[in-house]
Chain A
Amino acid sequence: MTQVSVTVDGVVYTDEVEARTLLVHYLRERLGKVGTVVGCDTSNCGSCTVLLGGMSVKSCSVLAVQANGSEVTTIEGLAAADGTLHPVQQAFYDSHALQCGFCTPGMVMASCDLLAENPNPSEQEVREGIEGNLCRCTGYQNIVKAIQAAGRAMSGTATSSTATSNTEAVRA
């Protein structure tokens, strides 16, 4: 057993873990952070993506002990304290970028990282940027649209269509 201390969604946790414990299992089974999910056992699907020190990682390919001393942000900690959705979450909602929603936590976290690196990505840049995140439901088209819209919203270049969508969000 090894002691780890990790800040997850703003809360500091200190636990004894087996050295082999994956970060995703630590999050889900020890911390109850079940918003982050597991979709594969070969690090292909991206469902488990979280931000580790601000960068997206597949939490199934990181050991809990490797996260020692780091800050982790999961889908559960992304919205503001008052419940206001993060612009990426809002854009996913507006663009109908989720169906079953299983890929969504990972897809949203990967998108945050993508937009941090490239606030205004082209369609092709988005498609390549989320290559490591599989979605079986949406055919990706609305996810691509959402990420581009979120990029515009975050860099203050939101178009009128996003404005309309926000009106809809208030109504919904």
Chain B
Amino acid sequence: MTAVDDRATAASSADGGPRMEVGNARRRKEDAHLLTGRTTWTDNMTLPGMLHLAILRSPMAHAKITRIDASEAKSRPGVIAVFTGQDFAETQGDIPCAWPVTADMVNPGHPSLAVTQVNHVGEAVAVIVARDKAAAQDALEAVDIDYEQLPAVLDMEAALAEGADLVHPNTTSNKSYTWVFESGAAGTGQPIDDVLNAAEVTLKRRFIQQRLIPAFMEPRSTVVQPVGEGFTMWSSTQVPHILRTMLALTVGVPEHKVRVIAPDVGGGFGGKLQVTPEEVICALVARKLGKSVKYTESRSESVMSAHHGRDQIQDITITARRDGTVTGLDVHLLANMGAYLRLVSPGIPVLGAFMFNSIYKFDAYRFTCDGVFTTKTPTDAYRGAGRPEATFAIERIMDELAAELDMDPMELRRKNWIRHEEFPFTTVSGMTYDSGNYEAATDKALSLLGWDELIAEQARRRASKDPVQLGLGISTFTEMCGLAPSRVLGALSYVAGGWENAAIRVLATGKVEVITGVSGHGQGHETAWSQIVADQLGVPFEDIEVIHGDTQSAPKGMDTYGSRSLVVGGIAVVKAAEKVVEKARAIAAHMLEANPDDLDFAGGNFSVKGSPGNSKSIQDVAFATFTAHDLPDGIEPSIDSDATFDPANFSFPHGTHLCAIEVDTETGRATIRKYVCVDDIGEVINPLIVEGQVHGGLAQGIAQALYEEAVYDAEGNLTTGSFVDYLVPSAADLPSFITDRTVSASTTNPLGVKGVGEAGTIASTPAVVNAVVNALRPYGVNDIQMPCTPERIWRALSEGAEKSSPAAAGTVAHGGASTSSSDGSDAAEGGRL
């Protein structure tokens, strides 16, 4: 990693000053307890007198509940109580939706326990409370429920058709909202219709974003302890602060009486960015019985009831001049909300609205998204949240346009992307990209892959009709992350801000506590924040403790998602440290009998300019502040500080990902031969952590391309209802990745950093699918629906062979060879290989 090496040299400080922590591949502070099993997963908790819950879930996709008889269940051994939706109908409120994307958005309401009707398989209908978990689960079978089945609503286009069966009886259609952006109206570009009408070349494609399951490895778990008028909740969540506020509003307990703790949390990927029915149910039961309770889901429950991700039909129109200059982009999405709107469900596709145009210079752009109700599990955030969908569509259609124009796909991209001297650049969707260098990242990636040799090999294999063909796929991506400038969120009708908070306490002994409002669950914040503060205050890395994930000890924050922790939360830490230094400066000046303005602060020492021997360390100042025996008049005896930081802009990481894939044309099996990514995430705090984030992101993006899909049958049953059927890739399914970086420092924050958590996922999916399609294009194949399973590839090859040529310009090539169904349900019959 040359970028790392450069950085390490820079970090050791040319002027002979102290070695900086930022840029070091520090091993993680988080690891010791995780490696030795001294963990605090929520399910590890036991409280005095704690009761255990089991949740009965709907076996029906869509049905009225006509009768529930829980009397037998109540009499089972060890069972304390049984509650149904009727018991909580007046108190449970609705699961909150914090993102009413349009003024007329339809939100039918979302009870935690179904009262009169169930709208997806796995919806909670009753809860058993027992003295141990086994007793609770044993009693589930004794609850007697009569359902009156309603027709399942599965296909989004059918759901929107006139006369369609309604998911919710209190609505008049299955459409929740239509959200539109148009560059002419927004003043960010030309009117789209003018550009579409004047087009020399028009290409339309339909792409399917299959439904995915976040599949965090730790199943969700919640413990609630009633405390006075309120309660304390431990939950496996990414968002303790949001959860606290929302729980208070939902169950009607004053916010200051609710404490939420996210202890060790085993991954989230957006899947734990939620206020869940299970959390609300635990709070209701604990309060009703005045006893502590615990609920931990099984994996099978998790895949049915924790929210899913993606699930869009994308109709994309791109126009260009014959020389390859792109002109217009028209995007129409159908976004599957599933049965209900959860915390940010409606906003997820809208987060992609600003990214379809990506790194390319379009004259005009339109984005239209219809949110659609179906009788499937609700969708919400999943790693990338809106941006993977956008990146996939634009990177796929750029390849299709290149094929249409008979141009090299990289040449087409180079011709249209923002050149590095053009930054800052305001795009046709109104985003201002602060920095980037697409040329540099691309050149580095091409050479790391050995592009020219592989192209030559591809030609040889094509010429010799080798049964194993080689495909090369490109994804030159950018994304917007670091959620988010509060003003922008306001303009998008989100109900909260996007700021982040941090506080720093310098203790009497000179040790430092950093309190952060972000809530890590694998990202390594404790290590990275320690590195930042070590440099800012000049204290040893080991002397810093990072406190997070408890609304009592870290009371203010917006939590962790959207690659925001460093670029918003980390900057709040910097701002708090700057305040600490300024407060300490006044006291140090008094101690040194100097003017504050005459002090330098470096390496943790205040020294009088020109006489470096005359100095006080920040620890000296902290102790003097603690004793407070001799402070300047009128100065408070504290150098502790906090800061709340609201970013001025999003962060725009970018990069070039290249995939070489071998496709066996006889079996349809696709095997990644080499995967190279060069990411530009600006400056790096810890290259070890960054690389880990990239690896994990790549794995999830590649999994979307090749392996994963949540499949429903015609009755609305989730047929991929466990890890037997939902194919989370193992080590044997993935290659080693070649990763590198370029550094275009962000100009919008003092560390020059950009987000990294989602980049790998966002970029990799189209690189892989483009590679598969590239391998098969000579066979008349111009699309494979994800996941590109051996069966789908094999079928596409068989069908492609019968077609004479790829789709012609101006024709509607609906998804190519294998998109027989718009919602992916064809795979139910096809099965998984």
Interface residues of A (CB under 8 A from B): 18, 28-29, 33-42, 44-45, 47, 74-76, 78-79, 85, 89, 92-94, 96, 98-105, 108, 123, 126-128, 130-144, 165, 168-169, 172
Contact = CB atoms under 8 A, between A and B. Distances in A.
Contacts of B267: 99-100, 102, 136-137
A89 B35 contact: yes
B695 A142 contact: yes
A119 B27 CA distance: 25
A141 B27 contact: no
A139 B132 CA distance: 36
**Which 9 residue pairs are nearest across A and B when measured between Cβ atoms?**
A35-B37, A101-B34, A102-B266, A100-B522, A139-B695, A139-B699, A99-B522, A44-B723, A75-B37
Nearest to B266: A102
Given A98-B35, A127-B730, 7 more contacts: A42-B300, A45-B299, A96-B691, A98-B34, A100-B266, A101-B30, A172-B27
B31 interface: yes
Contacts of B462: none
A131 B218 contact: no
Nearest to A165: B27
B505 to A, nearest CB: 23
Contacts of B29: 172
Which of B31, B698, B760 lies at the interface centre, i.e. has the most chain A CB atoms within 10 A of its CB? B31
Which bucket holds chain B's interface residue count? 35 or more
B734 A140 contact: yes
A129 B509 CA distance: 49
Given A96-B688, A136-B216, A89 B299 contact: no
B722 A40 contact: yes
B37 A139 contact: no
B39 A34 contact: yes
Contact of B36 (A47, A75, A135): A75
B731 A144 contact: yes
B177 interface: no
A31 to B, nearest CB: 12
B215 interface: yes
22 contacts: A35-B39, A39-B217, A39-B219, A40-B298, A44-B723, A85-B35, A96-B27, A99-B522, A99-B692, A99-B693, A100-B217, A100-B218, A101-B30, A102-B41, A127-B734, A134-B217, A134-B723, A135-B731, A137-B217, A140-B734, A141-B695, A165-B27
A27 to B, nearest CB: 10
A127 B36 contact: no
A105 B37 contact: yes
Interface in B9-53: 26-32, 34-39, 41, 43-44
A146 to B, nearest CB: 11
B726 to A, nearest CB: 9
Contacts of B219: 38-39
Contact of A139 (B27, B299, B698): B698
Nearest to A18: B134
Contacts of B524: 99
B179 interface: no
A127 B698 CA distance: 17
A94 B27 contact: yes
Contact of B722 (A35, A41, A98): A41
Contacts of B522: 99-101, 137
The secondary-structure label for the interface of chain A is: loop
Interface string B563-605: 0000000000000000000000000000000000000000000
A34 B728 contact: no
A144 B523 CA distance: 19
B600 to A, nearest CB: 28
B264 interface: yes
Contacts of B26: 168, 172
Given A100-B218, A100-B521, A168 B722 contact: no
A34 B37 CA distance: 7
A89 B696 CA distance: 20
A44 B697 CA distance: 22
A134 B299 CA distance: 13
Contacts of A18: 134
Nearest to B725: A42
A21 to B, nearest CB: 8
Contact of A93 (B27, B699, B736): B27
Contacts of B41: 34, 37, 102
A94 B737 CA distance: 19
Contacts of A100: 34, 216-218, 264-267, 521-522
Given A42-B299, A42-B724, A172-B26, A138 B696 contact: yes
B696 A99 contact: yes
A108 B30 CA distance: 16
Given A85-B35, A104-B34, A137-B217, A44 B724 contact: yes
A131 B35 contact: no
Given A35-B36, A42-B722, A132-B730, A141 B688 contact: no
B732 interface: yes
B477 interface: no
A76 B264 CA distance: 16
Contacts of A136: 215-217, 267, 269, 696, 699-700, 728
A40 B722 CA distance: 8
A172 B732 CA distance: 32
Given A42-B724, A44-B724, A143-B731, A101 B266 contact: yes
A104 B696 CA distance: 15
Interface string B193-233: 00000000000000000000001111100000000000000
Interface string B251-288: 00000000000001111010000000000000000000
Interface string B375-387: 0000000000000
A130 B731 contact: yes
Contacts of B44: 28, 34
Contacts of A104: 34-35
B345 to A, nearest CB: 22
